[in-house]
C-alpha cells in the first residue's frame, strides 16, 4: 500500500507536515504581471553555465484541497508534495513553505506552493507567489497529473499545450503564457469517455503501489531540477503493470 507524509498539526499558523500514512481503503496582488524568461526550452538543465539561472526556484503542486479529493488521480501533484516534509503556512492562496533540499552535499531551499484554490483557479495562487518574489517562469516547475502518460511513467517538459487540463489552463490565463516547466505524472486515460469522472476517481489498490514507485522517481527528478541537473524526457518506475 502506498504511503505518504501526513499533516500532524498547526504551529503558529503553519501546518507541519511529518510522518507517513497509507491510502484510505476505498495574499499578495495576483494582478501583477509575472516576468517571463527568454528560455526556449531546447536546452536541458545542467549543460551550460546558464543552467544556474534555470535551476528551479519555485515548485507548484496542482490538485484539489479537501479529503474528498486527496487520493484522486487529479491530485497526483499534491501527493508528490507530501514526499517533502515542511513547515507550511497559509500564504498566496495556498500552503507555502521554503523546503531545504540536499544533493551531493549541497543544499538549496526552493519555494513550495500547494494551491488551495481548487484546480481550475490554481493560477491565482501561482501568480501571487511568482509575482511577489519576481521569479522568472524558467525557474518555475509545475507538478500535475497527466492522462496522456500511462500510470507508472512521468515526464519533465518545457512548455507545451494544455491538454484540457484545467489547472494548466488557469496558469496560462493568470501568467499570460504556458511557458513554464512541467513535471507530468502519468495517471493514464480512462476506459470510457468521461475524463472528469476519471481524474476525480481514487487510485485502486493495485494502482497505489505503482504510483508510490512513480512518485519516488518524480521526487528524484524534482530535486535534480532544483539543482539544475535534471534532463527533459520521459521516465518510468520499475513497477509498471
The model's pLDDT over 88-141, given as tens digits with 9 standing for 90+, comes to 999 999 999 999 999 999 999 999 999 999 999 999 999 999 999 999 999 999
- The answer to whether residue 166 sits within a structural domain is yes
Active site residue 39: no
Taking the CA atoms of the chain, what radius of gyration do you get in angstroms?
17
Order of strands, sheet of 94-98, starting from the edge strand that comes earlier in the sequence: 3-11, 14-22, 87-91, 94-98, 111-115, 58-61, 140-146, 181-186, 153-158, 233-236
- The answer to whether residue 33 sits within a structural domain is no
Q: How far apart are CA 137 and CA 90, in angstroms?
A: 22
- The answer to whether residue 9 sits within a structural domain is no
What pLDDT is recorded for position 40?
42
Q: How far apart are CA 175 and CA 163, in angstroms?
A: 17
39, 74, 144, 165: the active-site residue = 74
Q: How far apart are CA 187 and CA 218, in angstroms?
A: 13
User: Domain residues for 204?
Assistant: 49-236
Give the other-Cβ count within 10 Å of 98's Cβ: 11
Q: How many domains does the chain have?
A: 1
What pLDDT is recorded for position 241?
54
- The answer to whether residue 13 sits within a structural domain is no
What pLDDT is recorded for position 239?
59
Q: How far apart are CA 126 and CA 129, in angstroms?
A: 5
- Locate 218 and state its grid cell: 518524480
CATH number where 197 lies: 3.40.50.1470
The stretches in the chain having pLDDT less than 70 are: 1-54, 238-241
Amino acid at each position: 500500500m502506498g504511503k505518504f507524509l501526513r499533516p500532524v498539526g498547526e504551529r503558529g499558523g503553519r501546518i507541519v507536515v511529518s510522518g507517513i500514512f497509507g491510502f484510505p481503503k476505498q495574499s499578495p496582488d495576483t494582478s501583477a504581471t509575472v516576468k517571463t524568461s527568454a528560455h526556449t526550452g531546447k536546452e536541458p538543465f545542467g549543460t551550460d553555465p546558464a543552467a544556474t539561472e534555470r535551476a528551479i526556484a519555485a515548485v507548484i503542486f496542482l490538485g484539489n484541497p479537501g479529503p474528498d479529493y486527496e487520493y484522486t488521480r487529479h491530485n497526483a501533484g499534491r501527493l508528490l508534495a507530501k514526499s517533502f516534509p515542511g513547515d507550511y503556512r497559509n500564504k498566496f492562496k495556498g500552503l507555502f513553505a521554503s523546503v531545504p533540499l540536499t544533493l551531493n552535499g549541497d543544499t538549496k531551499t526552493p519555494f513550495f506552493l500547494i494551491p488551495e484554490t481548487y484546480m481550475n483557479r490554481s493560477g491565482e495562487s501561482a501568480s501571487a507567489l511568482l509575482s511577489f518574489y519576481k521569479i522568472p517562469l524558467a525557474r518555475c516547475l509545475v507538478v500535475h497529473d497527466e492522462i496522456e502518460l500511462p500510470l507508472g511513467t512521468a515526464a519533465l517538459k518545457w512548455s507545451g499545450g494544455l491538454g484540457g487540463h484545467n489547472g494548466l489552463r488557469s496558469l496560462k490565463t493568470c501568467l499570460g503564457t504556458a511557458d513554464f516547466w512541467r513535471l507530468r505524472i502519468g495517471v493514464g486515460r480512462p476506459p470510457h469517455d468521461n475524463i472528469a469522472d476519471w481524474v476525480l476517481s481514487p487510485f485502486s489498490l493495485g494502482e497505489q503501489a505503482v504510483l508510490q514507485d512513480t512518485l519516488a522517481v518524480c521526487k528524484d527528478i524534482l530535486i535534480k531540477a532544483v539543482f539544475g541537473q535534471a534532463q527533459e524526457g520521459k521516465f518510468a518506475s520499475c513497477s509498471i503493470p
